[in-house]
Structure formats: structure tokens, C-alpha cells
Amino acid sequence: MAFKRSALTLLVSLAASALLNPLAHAEGKISIAQQFGIGYLILDVVRDQQLIEKHGKAQGLDIKVDWNSISGATAMNEALLTGALDVVSAGVPPMLTIWDRTRGKQNVKAIASLGSMPNYLLTNNPHVKSLKDFTDKDRIAVPAAGVGFQSRTLQIETAKVFGNDHFKKFDDISVSLPHPDATAALIAGQSEINSHFSSPPFQYQALQSPNVHKVLSSYDVLGGPATFNVLYTTEKFHDENPKTYKAFYDALVEAQGIIKADKAAAAQTYIRVEQSKLPLALVEKIVTDPEIDFTVVPQRTYIYAEKLHELGVLKNKADSWKDYFFEEAHADAGS
């Protein structure tokens, strides 16, 4: 199964298919894209145990699932809006941006959370202890500079420290780079990249280096445990594929339960599905970390909606988290 395709190859091939067959999509097909890291463990379990297919069969439907991997929210959003993908995944801020921009049009909304986990801003610069210590000579690697989860989180904290008018202060020293590459650069310490707003498992891997230390946690910014990644789709896919959508949502809920029931087995699933070379002991430590919760229930997402609207990033003001999540998620006590 061809899973890890480049963003460019994926967009070209799938967008071409969408243009040639604009009305070809029907119940029983779903194309999904995820990024890199243990933040996508729920999807790894879904894929490993073929849970979408299982729940589809429960409704009398044979579902064909197409799995893809892309780095960065920008490529994800482009693929979703061109019809190249049905479901994409990214941090809460990129989802909110596309929700904001497609209101009254494609009406993109979130499906479910993929879990709450902290993201750490790391550096190998011994002089950097807080945001105030960064200079124009530093370079901060993020998956999607200026627009991704890490950049938006950094912007919110920057506004808190330097004032709302300066919330983009660190955009000029941010560099778009996939987490695996940024981690390697940070540990090696031989490139212009001396900092990285990371995510699990990469941040834990980097912190094993004696030259790397933590500057900030996303939980510091948001006031506690908060959703990292979410899955989202268009209103069209949601409304025109009710059985496929239900099978997907039910698969996510089951995968959440599987992880909570046996975290050691879940760690093994991650290594197997992602073909990760990380030590099993490290992955188990991450999966069992009390700061991390693999849950489909959104937590503290509304903080992003509120702050990004205040900063002018979002034009539309959400009244609650339910405004940008499809109704299937509303039964849970989210935030």
C-alpha cells in the first residue's frame, strides 16, 4: 500500500482525478490524509485494525479507504478544497482558518479531536530561556510557518508577551520544515535551524540530546490540556455520505477505546504502522504520559477560536466550539 507520498505528487494526481471525475464520489469511498507523529495514533489504530471497513460492513457497506500522508496544514487544506481528499488532519488553528474562510461555501468543519497533547518549543541555543531571548539570528522550524498549529500557538503567546500588535513578531524567523527533518537538524546542531516548535514523539526524541532544552509548552499557552490535532471535512462530504461518515466516526471512537484499554499494544501499533525506528520503550513512555490523552473529545479549542478572532486572523466569531464541529461530536462534553 502506497502510503507516504509527497504533497506535490499527491495533489497533482488526486486533483487531476477529481477534475476528470467531479461527480464520481459515492458512498463507500473515503480518502484520508494524516501528518507525522504520534499525535495521529488514533488513525494508526483505525488503519491497522481496518475499523472503517468493519463499521461500514455493520451498515451493509463495503468501504474503500485511501490513506495518504502530507506534512503541513497548507497542503492539507489545498487538497481538501480541490476535492483531492475527503478528510484531512491538522492542528486546531489551521482547521479554524479553513472553517472561517469557507463559511457559506464549502462549510468545512471538524469531525473529531485526535487527542490532547503538549507541543514543546525547543532550542539548542543555551542563551534562549524565554521568548524574550530570541533574536533575528535564531531560526525556529515549524511544519507550516505562520499558519500551522505551532505558529499560531506561538503567535498567541507572543501577543501575550509583546502585545497584540506584535503577534507575528517571530514569523520572520520561522522556517517551514517537517518534524522529522527539524528534529534531526536540532539534534545535529550544524544548521541555521537552532529551534523547533515540536510535537510528540519528536520533542521527546530531541530532549534526549544534552544540548536541547524546552522553552515553552503549548499547555502553558492554553492553560492546561488541549487538543492538538483534529480531523475535518466539507459539508458536502458529511451530508452526501452519511453511512461512510458514520463508519469513520464510529471507527475513531472505537480506536480511542482500544488505545485506552492497552497502551502498550497501542505503542507497538504506532511503530508497526509508521515503520518507526524509535525504541519501543520511548514510544510506550509517550503513550502513557499523563499529559497525553488520546480522545476524540475536543479540549480547549475555543481558546484558539476566541484569541485568533481577537487578533484578526479569523473574520467570523464562533459562539462556541460546536459552531465549527459537525453535530456527531456535540454529544460529548467538549470545549
For residue 69, what is the enclosing H or E element? Answer: strand 64-69
Residue 192 near residue 185, CB atoms below 8 Å: no
> Tell me, what's the pLDDT at 18?
46
Q: How far is CA 239 from CA 5, 191, 233, 236, in A?
A: 29, 48, 10, 5
- For the chain, give the number of residues: 335
Greatest Cα pair distance, the chain, in angstroms, is 61
Residue 8 has a pLDDT of 47
pLDDT of residue 171: 96
Helix, strand, or coil (residue 13): helix
CA atoms within 13 A on the CB side of 16: 5
| 3-state secondary structure (DSSP) of residue 207 | coil
Which whole-number Å values give the CA distances from 149 to 23, 67, 285, in the listed order?
33, 22, 24
Give the count of beta carbons closer than 10 Å to the beta carbon of residue 99. 22
Please give the pLDDT value at position 13: 52
pLDDT tens, the chain, 335 aa long: 334 444 445 554 544 444 444 434 569 999 999 988 899 999 999 999 999 999 999 999 999 999 998 877 778 888 999 999 999 998 899 999 999 999 999 999 999 999 999 999 999 999 999 999 999 999 999 988 998 899 999 999 999 999 999 999 999 999 999 999 999 999 999 999 999 999 988 999 999 999 999 999 999 999 999 999 999 999 999 999 999 999 999 999 999 999 999 999 999 999 999 999 889 999 999 999 999 999 999 999 999 999 999 999 999 999 999 999 999 999 988 99
CA distance 232 to 1: 23
**Residue among 218, 211, 204 at smallest CA distance from 186:** 211
Spell out the residues 6+ positions from residue 228 whose beta carbon is closer than 8 angstroms to its own.
39, 91, 92, 114, 115, 116, 117, 119, 149, 199, 218
- The secondary structure of 253-305 as a DSSP string is HHHHHHHHH-HHHHHHHHHHHHT--S-HHHHHHHHT-TT-B--SS--SHHHHH
Contact predicate 331/147, CB 8 Å: no
Provide the 3-class DSSP secondary structure of residue 222: helix
SS3 state at 229: strand
How far is Cα 192 from Cα 182, in angstroms, rounded to an integer?
A: 11
- The CA distance from 27 to 246, in Å, is 11
